[in-house]
Amino acid sequence: MSEALSTEQPGVIKYPHLFKPVTIRGNVYKNRMIAAPTMFMHASYFIPKMRENIYRMVEQRAAGGFGCVSTGEMPLNFEEARTLFQKRKIDFTKYSGPDFEIAKEYADRIHAKGAIAYMEFSHEGSQAAEAKEPWGPEDMTRDDGVKVKGMDEEMMAKVCNDFYQISRFAKKCGFDGVMLHGGHGFLLQQYISPWTNHRTDEYGGSMENRARFPKRILEACRHGIGEDGILELRFSAEDGVHGGMKINDTVAFCQEIDGMADILHISNGLKWLGNQTKTFSSFLDPHGLNVEYAAKVKAAVKKSYVATIGGFNGPELAEKVIAEGKADFIEFGRQCFADPAMPNKALQGKEDEIRRCIRCFVCYPGFCEHPTDIPLAQKIGPEKAAKIYSPMSMGQCTVNPESGFDFNPDAFPKPKSVHKVLIIGGGVGGLQAAITARQRGHKVVLVEQQDRLGGTVNFTDVDEDKIDLCNAKNVIIKQAQESGAEIRLNTKANADLIAKEAPDDVIIAVGAHSVVPKIDGIEKATQAIDAYAKIDQIERNVVIVGGGLVGCEVGLHLARHGKAVTIVEMKDMMADETFGYYRNALLNEMDHRGMKQILSAKCLAFTDDGVLIEKDGQKQLVKADSMCFSMGMHSNEDEVTELKAASGEADAWVIGDAKHAGKVYDAVKGGYMTAMKII
């Protein structure tokens, strides 16, 4: 399928285990890196305009050097397995026609770029979102009131036949193997977990019994994919809830099916509690958080290979895990959005050019899990919320501006001429604009008034919770410095400089500033963002006024360094501007670090003894040794106005926080998009 790797390539020397080929049933994996499923395969059927972008997603991963690339989920059937975003039926018994060709294109494109191709499918069992009457191990009523029917022999036979048919369909499409998703609380896991299987017949009780129906499913998949096809089973290590399946259950199950699945892919948790049960790890979780679970499975099985997933964003840890014998393959999920060319960069010895996933959940925001969260539709309105949760909006990435299913860089016209572009501001937005403008052939001069690049994101240099964001910032700086752009530090932009440079385009990326409200004694307090640099001056008992994202994350940093932190917030919810998995992880960690919260409280004054607040109509003093405030950011509008006026005949573009105080995603994407529009 691909040429043999040279032992002289830097990556082979540095990561010998990661780049060691392996053959399974005649199929050669050129390395041990698998691009895990990240987007519903069936979306390419019901959203035709999205189809090409999903093809490009798997194609880029194969071209980027992954040994194997999987499609996203396909529902097993369109009846009791019916799930979210499923709009129309596909006949898996037909091996010709438009529906067959749509699926076949995935395999063809993956193969054309030199990778093994998987088709993933699943049956969500009792949790099938849109089934009129879901099926599961037993009769039950879900929390949402939907009645679930316990499966009898006829129903089991029907499901096994469906697994056979979809596996055979995958084989006919040209896929080398299938990934059966049996984890994250789906049907197979429901049979194995003592939390969801209370049957007293031959399908319940002992592990031998609980594994009986999952074994039948695996046999059906094998029959469909054939003896020369690969069968990978994704399964959770634990349920992650009280009374749920534990790793010992999973190990016992894997021993029961040892050799039936070629690869046992160890994930974790439950789909509908994705952050809480560590199905999706956050920036506060360790990388490779499922490795020890995988190691227990690997030690217990003799015939199956073992893969693990969870927070991997580079080759270093992946090599270590395989070298230590804890797994045979490493699966990369969200990292594939951040940099689909990660394997090739590692192979070429260019690890310092990898844009690594920062686990910010921009690509997949998740849903409410924290008890104080409310549905996003109630925060920002149903139309805006629907756009965020739309399949078209998924797959966006903070560090990779070319990601996202509603975006195709090839749709932009090529530049008609070389422009001289002056970029004012060396934060990540300005830097990305410089990188992209240079890639498109323009001449770029970037000026930064400080003595270093990175802008606001330089706080990550000292925030241990933001190591991955710090790395991403440094990669962007490096790429800008090596792009061929002329970069001038300690240079303040003004009318004279613009006139002297005579640019065709001016990109204004001068950022924002912290809002300093008129509150008595505020000069006694430190702006929250400045607390990183002044941490040695901040005494133990700290009160932060302002419980938005900045206030909460600064509070986490201070708490990590031994400070007793109390946050005062005027609204009735902390971190109101964020939601879903990120917010759940953030607030759980605040509790873990012992941070106190005072909600629905107005700050009246900063005093020598602490912060005077009003809550429930009563005034009270929250004592503090040190005080900080975080009451929002405001774009540097005056500076923007002056620079636009000084731009003269040049086209003036405003990006990032200078346009609207936002997140790193907005700055990076804004810089990229602006540079793409210069033609």
3-state secondary structure 215-248: HHHHHHHHHHHCCCCEEEEEEECCCCCCCCCCHH
Q: In what order do the strands lie in the sheet with 596-598?
A: 526-527, 626-629, 541-545, 564-568, 596-598
Measured CA to CA, the distance from residue 58 to residue 64 in angstroms comes to 10
Q: What is the mean pLDDT of residues 270-299?
A: 96
Model confidence, pTM: 0.95
Q: What is the pLDDT of residue 386?
A: 85
**27-29 vs 22-24, strand pairing mode:** antiparallel
Alpha helices in 64-140 (DSSP H): 98-112
Segment 458-484 shows an average pLDDT of 97
What residues pair up with 373 in beta bridges, in sequence order? none
Average pLDDT over residues 150-168: 98
* Helix ranges, 64-132 (H): 98-112
pLDDT of amino acid 1: 41
Structure-model confidence comparison of residues 8 and 268, the more confident one: 268
CA dihedral for 565, 568, 571, 576, sign (positive or negative): negative
Q: Tell me: the pLDDT tens digits for 226-280?
A: 999 999 999 999 999 999 999 999 999 999 999 999 999 999 999 999 999 999 9
What was the pLDDT predicted at 40? 86
Residues ≥6 apart with Cβ < 8 Å to 568: 543, 544, 545, 546, 547, 598, 601, 603, 611, 613, 622
Between β-strands 526-527 and 626-629, what pairing exists: parallel, antiparallel or unpaired? parallel
pLDDT tens per residue across span 610-664: 999 999 999 999 999 999 999 999 999 999 999 999 999 999 999 999 999 899 9
How far apart CA 666 and CA 293 sit, in angstroms, is 37
CA distances from 158 to 70, 217, 232, 261 (A): 26, 11, 22, 21
Domains plus CATH for the chain? 10-357 (3.20.20.70), 412-514+634-677 (3.40.50.720), 523-631 (3.50.50.60)
pLDDT of the residue at 408: 87
Look at residue 2 in the predicted model and tell me its pLDDT: 45
pLDDT tier, 221 (very low <50, low <70, confident <90, very high otherwise): very high
pLDDT-based confidence at 84, cuts 50/70/90? low
With beta carbons less than 8 A apart as the criterion, state whether 565 and 592 touch.
no
What length is written for the chain?
Answer: 679
Is residue 70 very low, low, confident or very high in pLDDT (cuts 50, 70, 90)? very high
Neighbours of 262 (CB within 10 A): 19
Residue 384 pLDDT > 90: no
User: What are the helix (H) ranges across 301-334?
Assistant: 315-323
How far apart are alpha carbons 295 and 304 in whole angstroms?
13
Q: Which residue has the higher pLDDT, 672 or 50?
A: 672
Mean pLDDT of 165-178: 98
Three-class DSSP category at 541: strand
Q: 40-54, 267-281, 322-336, 589-603: which range is least confident on average?
A: 40-54
Q: Beta 140-141 vs 541-545: how paired, if at all?
A: unpaired
Percent of the chain at pLDDT > 90 equals 89
**Which residues does 91 contact at the CB level (< 8 Å), separation at least 6?**
99
Counting residues of the chain whose pLDDT is more than 70, the rounded percentage is 98
Task: Report the alpha-carbon distance of residue 258 to residue 428 in Å, rounded.
Answer: 48
* pLDDT value at residue 645: 96
Alpha carbon distances (Å) from 36 to 217, 315, 332, 621: 21, 15, 6, 52
497 SS3 class? helix
Q: 10 Å Cβ neighbour count for 399?
A: 27
Tokens describing residue 498: 């613009």
pLDDT digits (tens, 9 = 90+) for 89-130: 899 999 999 999 999 999 999 999 999 999 999 999 999 987
Question: For residue 129, what pLDDT is reported?
Answer: 81
- How far is the C-alpha of 419 from the C-alpha of 105, rounded, in Å? 39
pLDDT at 3 over 60: no
> Which 8-state DSSP code applies to residue 465?
G
Q: Residue 623 CB: number of other CB atoms within 10 A?
A: 12
Structure confidence by residue, pLDDT tens digits, 583-596? 999 999 999 999 99
Asked if the model's pLDDT at residue 537 lies above 70, the reply is: yes
CA distances from 214 to 54, 80, 221, 343, 350 (A): 30, 17, 11, 34, 43
pLDDT at 43: 87
In this prediction, residues 418-437 reach a mean pLDDT of: 98
